[in-house]
Every structure is written in C-alpha cells, then in structure tokens.
Amino acid sequence: MSVGETHGVVALKQDFRNIKLHGLTKGLKVTGYNIDFDKLVFKSLSFNPEISLDADYTIDGRLLLLPIRGNGKANITMYNMKSTNTYYGEKFEKNGEIYMKIKKFLVKLSPEKIHLHFSNLFNGDKLLGNQMNKFLNANSDLLFNEMRAPYEETFGIVFTKIANDVFSKVPFNKIFPE
C-alpha cells in the first residue's frame, strides 16, 4: 500500500507492505448508520478504542525542515478512533442471484491520539532513529492532519477490498433480507 505523497510542511512518500491491521472489530461500536437501499448508499459512524497497523515500511521525505528516511518495521496505533464511513454500491447478477459490489468507500478518520514507531530509520542509526520517533510522537497530531487525506484514501481502498470480498460471495438478499 502506497500512501500518496504529500507536499508542504510534511513532504513524505510512504510505502507499506505485509500489512496487518489489528483491532478493527475488537471493541468496535457502530454509533449510527443510515442505508438508502434505492441508491445503495451506506453511511455509518463508528468508534474504536484502538486500531493498530503493523507493516514493513519505506519512508522518504521531510517533516518541517527535518529529513526522514528509512525502511524496516512500522507500528501505527490510533486510540479512540471515531470514523465516518460512506460507501456506494451497485448490484450485479451472478448465477441467477443478485450481489452487490462497492464502487467507492469514503472514510473520515478522527483519532484522539496516535502512537508511531518506525524501526531502522536513518540506516539503523539508533540515536537519530529514537529522536525522530520521539519527534513523530510529540507532533503526531500535526503529522496526521497533514497525512489525513492520503491515509483516508488508502483506508477506503483497503475497506473496499474487504467489503467486496464479502459482498461478492454472499447474495444481497442474504446480507439484507427484506
């Protein structure tokens, strides 16, 4: 998963591989939802106490005036995450039954707190790497606000795939009985 390159105060190119998401359903509370079955538009509000992403990463760019570069293991943990999800579907027929495909999945993320850790920054220089991780965590709100749009777009792509894996196997009327 490549997170779109940003420009400005935070100018980063991030690449994540072998991604493992933890906590997507543990503690998840759907706090509101609305379904328009005619237009196949689904909206939900949710709260999750903790979502964690572990991955192999490559990062290159700068934060404020500080260069950042590295590749290794990454952990991004978001606490007290509120999210708004809107997804747009379309029906299709397969083997005489009606299924649904998600065309677009929009995600708006609002974490209360974020903790970041990137191993092997600056070619394994522990002193610089530890200082950069401290800097990242001290400024995680600023960093997330600058990276919000590409992260939300990336999560939308991931959630589209997850939803379509389910919707392509289970007929529409089994998921949403009349």
Give bridge partners of residue 67 from the DSSP assignment: 62
**Beta-carbon count within 10 A of 87 CB:** 20
What is the domain extent for residue 141?
A: 2-175
Domain count, the chain: 1
Could you tell me the CATH number of the domain that includes residue 37?
A: 3.15.10.30
Contact 89, 42 (CB under 8 A): yes
CA torsion through residues 64, 66, 70, 72, sign: negative
Instruction: Report residue 175: phi and psi, to 5°.
Output: -80, -40
Q: What is the pLDDT along the chain (178 residues), one digit of tens a residue?
A: 555 455 567 788 888 889 888 988 888 999 999 999 999 999 999 999 999 989 999 999 888 788 899 999 999 999 999 999 999 999 999 999 999 999 999 999 999 999 999 999 998 999 999 999 999 999 999 888 888 887 888 889 888 999 999 999 999 999 998 8
Place of tokens 């400005």: 8
Q: Which two tokens stand for residue 154?
A: 């990336």
Task: Give the closest residue to 141 by CA, choosing from 97, 109, 163, 101.
Answer: 109
